Chain A
Amino acid sequence: MINPKRPYFFDHVSVVSYTFAFIILSLIPISVYAGQHNADLLSISKDAAWQRLLYYDLEKGRSDVISADYFLSPEGRSDPLKELKATLDSYSKPFPADADQHARCRFPARYLWLSERIHLANYQVIHPQCVSLKKSQEKLQLDSISLMFVTGYLGNPASSFGHSFIKLDTRNSYGDNSLFDLTISYGADVPENENVFLYIYRGLFGEYKAKISDKYFYSEDLVFSSTEFRDIWEYKLNLKDQQLLFFQLHMWEILGQQFQYYFLHRNCGYELSRILEVVIDGDLVKSADVYFLPIETFFSLSEIPPENTMFSDVIYHPSEQKVVYEHYQRLSDSEKQYVLEIMEQDKVNISILDTLEDGEQIEIIDFLLTYHKYLLTRDPDNEIFEKSKKALLVQRFNLPPRAAPEIEIEQFTPPVDSDKPGMFFAGYNYLDNQDDFFTFGYSPYAAQSLGRNNMNGNELIIMNAEIGVSEKAIFLDRFDLIRIKSFDRYHLPLENTLPLSWQLEAAVENINYENYDEFLGYFRGGIGKTWLQNRSVLGYVMVNGGLYTKGDNVLVTPEVGIRVDLGFARGLINIHKAYNLDGESDFLESKLIALAPISKDISFSIEMNYRDEFRANAGLQFYMY
């Protein structure tokens, strides 16, 4: 009897023949995507998520990954469709002797993503034969992911714009802290003892290879907080379990793969953004043609709708320098006196503490031990510090154990709540005896001393251009190539060095407001001393030396200034007087600048300046990235 539901052919084939045919067919490799229309594959290969998994750069037409073994097709780096087909072909290939080398073990995130779009026979997120992958995933019990921002510092030009890395918050950390959490970093492979000029050249022009690598958080903590004295801001990301799994699998794929490093636009911030784009399935890079700042990733994440929901927590890790400073402030006046007396001697005499109670001795010695660690980081070969540290250690071992006190650290505005780094300015200028005019300015990076994104009161402004618009003309009013101010805010009275302040400036400014055709170019730098009156008031005195393109070509300008932070607004007053090399007075200039935020991305600014004549400027600053 013919079964109407089956093809006639099958009714005439014996069960044995059918089984035999099945076995034969099973041995013939069939693409997993057989039956999948090419149009579907083309569409999938053009999917932004697939291209993100490949780190494909649409403009360049190739992946940013340069390691050949990241691609299963020989042309996979430049052809997402061929890589898709090769990935699907590899899925059903038999496992080799070293099963970990099978594509299903090497690219688990790709297959997880594909499994949601294409039927993959017998798909499992982690195939049982992928032993290493399985072990790794079992070991790494991931709770959440944090994106870490290391604040910029002016000690090294390359570090001025900050740094970012990812921290994996795991359950199997040792202890109750995060020291053994894993971190994911993107960094260039720079040879040891690289010449500084080669370092700059190669960093700028893509001559270093870079890779994504993992290490324990304590390594980062020791480098950034304890050695370079930089704060770390931890932004915990609000991710779903499925996103965490996808991230974990993708890390397995991408760790160790090589990229080409460019300091300005293919740096840690950019590549970490690309990693997070894979996980959140959205864009975090607005533009990176010329440069990309690490902080941009944080702003992009905060703007994902609904706004400010990507971060579940923000944790501040202060630098060791700040901890030492605040620890000293915490001491009583008499304890400070003992500390000063001990540090004033060439050879530490701990015996002056003998009359004190254990608790007081511990308070003083624990501070001094922390302080010595800080001193020896700055001056590692100092034998006097080594000897005094040993004396302190020996004395401390004789006292009962006690945990270091909780140090209350001055609260700073988290980076995402601060001003964005790019600044557009629109203002109105008044000049004595000259026509008024409007000014429009832009700087791609402006961490102003008076802005919310100031670097502990320091300033770094790059490429600031200001265009004047009067009834008569449109003209260049000012161009700052670079402007840096640095104040040693965390200097302790017991240090045997001066609390330095220094600045550097290279600029061109218009000096003719009748014809707008005369410019003064200058390059000047200064050094001096900082006074921190309290947390709100900082004073400084500096002696500047500069080269000028007009008038006296070399000028020496002593300068005195006060910076005041009122919380709702910040202001700076400074006066400097110029002398030429013959000691003759050249000019006297006084300036008052104030900046007050009026909304998240807008501040009101006012500047009054007197040099031969009075000039005032008021306007709005708009922050962007």
Chain B
Amino acid sequence: MFIKKIKPAAVASLLGLMIVSGNANAEKEFDFGKIYVGCGLGGMIGSAFENKTASQVLAVSTNITFDLGTTASISYFSSDNTCYNNKAVTAAFIHQSYETLEKEIAMGKGEYFDTLAALVVGKGSDADQYQATVRQQFAEVVADESYLQLSRYEKVEKLYYIAI
């Protein structure tokens, strides 16, 4: 019922994503770029938006309109919504909360980092091992000399592939 309310451009991209996913190997389904475009994580499609700051990302992805309220373009209540599969949910979560995750992964703990672990490996004892691995790999990304030159999109993408 609610799938019809997704923006036409996002639907077209989403269909493209589903077709590609069906034909290619399973990893393609987890392709960050396709989720980014297909599920409208950037709010608008195009590389011109890749360097948005966190507040701009939040503004676009939630259509912040101050107290005229906020609206979402996709709905959880649409049970067939591909953008609510686990990988897409993880991508959206990292995309929106990157700055918080960056800090909490460095600390090794935190509400958002714990939630990321629960998203990917569940709430069990695997979570500690998962967090240790993510922390170690992400430390290398941050320590790299090129880190400051990366766009926000690129940083999010790197963390996404470490996280999944």
Chain A residues within 8 Å of B63, by CB: 187, 189-190, 192
B72 interfacial contact with A, CB 8 Å: yes
B139 interfacial contact with A, CB 8 Å: yes
Q: How far is the CA of A603 from the CA of B1 in the complex (A)?
A: 52
A144 interfacial contact with B, CB 8 Å: no
Kindly report which residue of chain B lies nearest to residue A226, judged by CB atoms.
Answer: B100
Kindly report which residue of chain B lies nearest to residue A155, judged by CB atoms.
Answer: B66
User: Which of B8-16, B22-30, B75-83 lines the interface with chain A?
Assistant: B75-83
Asked whether A179 lies within 8 Å of B96 as measured between CB atoms, the reply is no
Asked whether B77 lies within 8 Å of A161 as measured between CB atoms, the reply is no
Chain B residues within 8 Å of A105, by CB: 1
Proximity bits, A602-614, B CB within 8 Å = 1, else 0: 0000000000000
Chain A residues within 8 Å of B97, by CB: 218, 222
Asked whether B71 lies within 8 Å of A132 as measured between CB atoms, the reply is no
Max chain A C-beta neighbours (<10 A), residue from B2, B64, B107: B107
Asked whether B75 lies within 8 Å of A213 as measured between CB atoms, the reply is yes
Q: How far is the CA of A161 from the CA of B93 in the complex (A)?
A: 29
B54 interfacial contact with A, CB 8 Å: yes
Asked whether A397 lies within 8 Å of B143 as measured between CB atoms, the reply is yes
Specify which of A252, A256, A373 is in contact with B103 (CB 8 Å cutoff): A373
Proximity bits, B86-99, A CB within 8 Å = 1, else 0: 00000001001101
Chain B residues within 8 Å of A162, by CB: 67
Asked whether A218 lies within 8 Å of B109 as measured between CB atoms, the reply is no
Chain B residues within 8 Å of A226, by CB: 100
Q: How far is the CA of A174 from the CA of B80 in the complex (A)?
A: 20
Chain A residues within 8 Å of B64, by CB: 223
B101–chain A nearest beta-carbon distance, Å = 11
| Chain B contact residue count (CB 8 A cutoff) | 58
Asked whether A179 lies within 8 Å of B112 as measured between CB atoms, the reply is yes
Specify which of A139, A192, A381 is in contact with B60 (CB 8 Å cutoff): A192
Q: How far is the CA of A419 from the CA of B43 in the complex (A)?
A: 40
Q: How far is the CA of A175 from the CA of B113 in the complex (A)?
A: 10
Asked whether B123 lies within 8 Å of A101 as measured between CB atoms, the reply is no
Asked whether A179 lies within 8 Å of B111 as measured between CB atoms, the reply is yes
Specify which of A174, A190, A219 is in contact with B65 (CB 8 Å cutoff): A190
Asked whether B107 lies within 8 Å of A156 as measured between CB atoms, the reply is no
Asked whether B68 lies within 8 Å of A397 as measured between CB atoms, the reply is no
Proximity bits, A168-197, B CB within 8 Å = 1, else 0: 000000111101101001111110100000
User: Which of A24-32, A118-126, A237-245, A386-394 lines the interface with chain B?
Assistant: A386-394
B161 interfacial contact with A, CB 8 Å: no
Asked whether A100 lies within 8 Å of B1 as measured between CB atoms, the reply is yes
Chain A residues within 8 Å of B5, by CB: 256
Specify which of A185, A188, A256, A396 is in contact with B107 (CB 8 Å cutoff): A396
Q: How far is the CA of A400 from the CA of B139 in the complex (A)?
A: 12
Max chain A C-beta neighbours (<10 A), residue from B54, B72, B99, B118: B72
A487 interfacial contact with B, CB 8 Å: no
Asked whether B110 lies within 8 Å of A404 as measured between CB atoms, the reply is yes
Specify which of B56, B96, B110 is in contact with A218 (CB 8 Å cutoff): B96
A293–chain B nearest beta-carbon distance, Å = 11
B70 interfacial contact with A, CB 8 Å: yes
Proximity bits, B16-48, A CB within 8 Å = 1, else 0: 000000000000000000000000000110000
User: Which of A41-49, A55-63, A203-211, A580-588 lines the interface with chain B?
Assistant: A203-211
Asked whether B96 lies within 8 Å of A222 as measured between CB atoms, the reply is yes
Asked whether B65 lies within 8 Å of A188 as measured between CB atoms, the reply is yes
Kindly report which residue of chain B lies nearest to residue A398, judged by CB atoms.
Answer: B139
Given contacts A213-B71, A377-B55, contact A397 B139 (CB under 8 A): yes
Chain A residues within 8 Å of B77, by CB: 136, 140, 214, 251-252, 255
Q: How far is the CA of A102 from the CA of B72 in the complex (A)?
A: 25
Chain A residues within 8 Å of B80, by CB: 132, 135
Chain A residues within 8 Å of B2, by CB: 255-256
Asked whether A218 lies within 8 Å of B142 as measured between CB atoms, the reply is no
Proximity bits, A394-436, B CB within 8 Å = 1, else 0: 1011001111100000000000000000000000000000000
Q: How far is the CA of A283 from the CA of B148 in the complex (A)?
A: 55
B49–chain A nearest beta-carbon distance, Å = 11
B86–chain A nearest beta-carbon distance, Å = 9
B53 interfacial contact with A, CB 8 Å: yes
Q: How far is the CA of A263 from the CA of B106 in the complex (A)?
A: 42
A600 interfacial contact with B, CB 8 Å: no
Asked whether A394 lies within 8 Å of B69 as measured between CB atoms, the reply is no
Q: How far is the CA of A179 from the CA of B70 in the complex (A)?
A: 17
Proximity bits, A354-375, B CB within 8 Å = 1, else 0: 0000000000001001100100
Chain A residues within 8 Å of B143, by CB: 394, 397
Chain A residues within 8 Å of B55, by CB: 227, 377, 380
Binding site for A on B (CB under 8 A): 1-2, 5, 43-44, 53-56, 58, 60-72, 75-80, 93, 96-97, 99-100, 102-104, 106-112, 114-115, 117-119, 123, 131-132, 135, 139, 142-143, 147-148
- Besides the known contacts A140-B76, A187-B68, 7 further A-B residue pairs in the complex with CB atoms under 8 A apart: A182-B76, A213-B70, A214-B75, A219-B70, A263-B67, A369-B107, A401-B109
> 6 A–B contact pairs at CB < 8 A?
A135-B79, A190-B63, A192-B63, A394-B143, A401-B108, A403-B109
Question: Top 7 nearest A-B pairs by Cβ distance?
Answer: A401-B108, A187-B69, A403-B109, A135-B79, A380-B53, A397-B139, A175-B118
